[in-house]
C-alpha cells in the first residue's frame, strides 16, 4: 500500500465514522431524548422529571447540525479528492475542513456544555436505574449512547493525528498526489 493510499484510507475511515456518529446522534435524540423530554412535560406520563430529562441529554440537539454541516463538507472534500468540485467552490483538505468547523465555527464550544453536564447526567442515570419504583430502567437503556459525543472527540483527534503522521511521511517520500492541505491545521506546507 502506498503512502497516499494509506492516507486516503484513513480519510475515508474518518468520514465513515463521522457519518456513523451523525446517525447515532439522531438515534439518541429521536429514540431517547425527545420521547423522555415529551413524557416529562406531564406528571401522568413522566418517567423522569423534566430537569433530569434535559440534563441527561444536555445539548445533543445542538451537536447534530454541527456534525451534519461538518459531514457535508467532508463529503465535498472527498468529491474534490476524486477530481470534482461542487459549484466551483473548494472546501480544501481535512485540516481546512476541521478548522473551519471546530475552530472558526466554534464547534468545540458546544461540547463544553455537553461535557460539563456529563457527570451530573451519569449520576441521574445511575440513580434512576437503581431507584425502586422508577419506570426508567424498563423504558430505556441509553448507557452506550452517553459516551458517544465524548468518545467521538477522542476518536476524531486520534484519526486526525494518524492522518497527519501519514501526511508527514508522504511529505518526506514525495508520494502524495497533491490534494491535501494541512497548512492551517498543522503548520506543514500546503501541497495543493
Cβ atoms 25, 59 nearer than 8 A: no
Cβ atoms 98, 160 nearer than 8 A: yes
Question: Under 8 Å CB-to-CB from 21, ≥6 apart: which residues?
Answer: 67, 148, 152
Question: Which grid coordinates are listed for 186?
Answer: 498543522
Tens-place pLDDT, residues 74-124: 999 999 888 866 566 788 888 889 889 888 888 878 888 878 888 898 899
**Is the pTM of the predicted complex or chain greater than 0.75?**
no
Q: What angle do CA 68, 71, 74 make, to 5 degrees?
A: 155
What domains appear along the chain, each with residue ranges and CATH number? 3-186 (1.20.900.10)
Note the pLDDT of residue 75.
94
Predicted confidence band at 190 (pLDDT cuts at 50, 70, 90)? Answer: very low
The larger pLDDT score, comparing residue 175 to residue 117, is at 117
Amino acid at each position: 500500500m502506498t503512502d497516499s493510499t494509506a492516507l486516503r484510507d484513513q480519510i475515508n475511515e474518518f468520514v465513515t465514522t463521522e457519518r456513523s456518529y451523525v446517525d447515532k446522534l439522531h438515534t439518541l435524540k429521536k429514540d431517547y431524548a425527545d420521547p423522555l423530554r415529551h413524557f416529562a412535560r406531564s406528571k401522568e406520563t413522566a418517567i423522569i422529571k423534566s430537569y433530569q430529562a434535559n440534563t441527561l441529554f444536555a445539548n445533543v440537539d445542538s451537536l447534530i447540525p454541527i456534525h451534519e454541516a461538518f459531514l457535508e463538507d467532508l463529503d465535498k472534500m472527498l468529491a474534490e479528492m476524486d477530481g470534482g468540485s461542487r459549484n466551483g467552490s473548494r472546501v480544501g483538505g481535512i485540516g481546512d475542513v476541521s478548522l473551519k468547523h471546530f475552530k472558526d465555527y466554534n464547534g468545540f464550544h458546544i461540547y463544553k456544555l455537553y461535557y460539563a453536564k456529563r457527570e451530573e447526567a451519569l449520576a441521574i442515570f445511575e440513580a434512576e436505574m437503581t431507584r425502586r419504583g422508577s419506570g426508567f430502567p424498563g423504558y430505556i437503556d441509553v448507557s452506550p449512547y452517553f459516551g458517544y459525543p465524548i468518545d467521538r472527540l477522542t476518536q476524531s483527534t486520534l484519526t486526525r493525528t494518524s492522518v497527519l503522521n501519514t501526511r508527514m511521511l508522504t511529505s518526506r517520500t514525495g508520494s502524495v498526489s497533491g490534494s491535501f492541505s494541512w497548512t492551517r491545521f498543522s503548520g506543514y506546507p500546503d501541497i495543493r
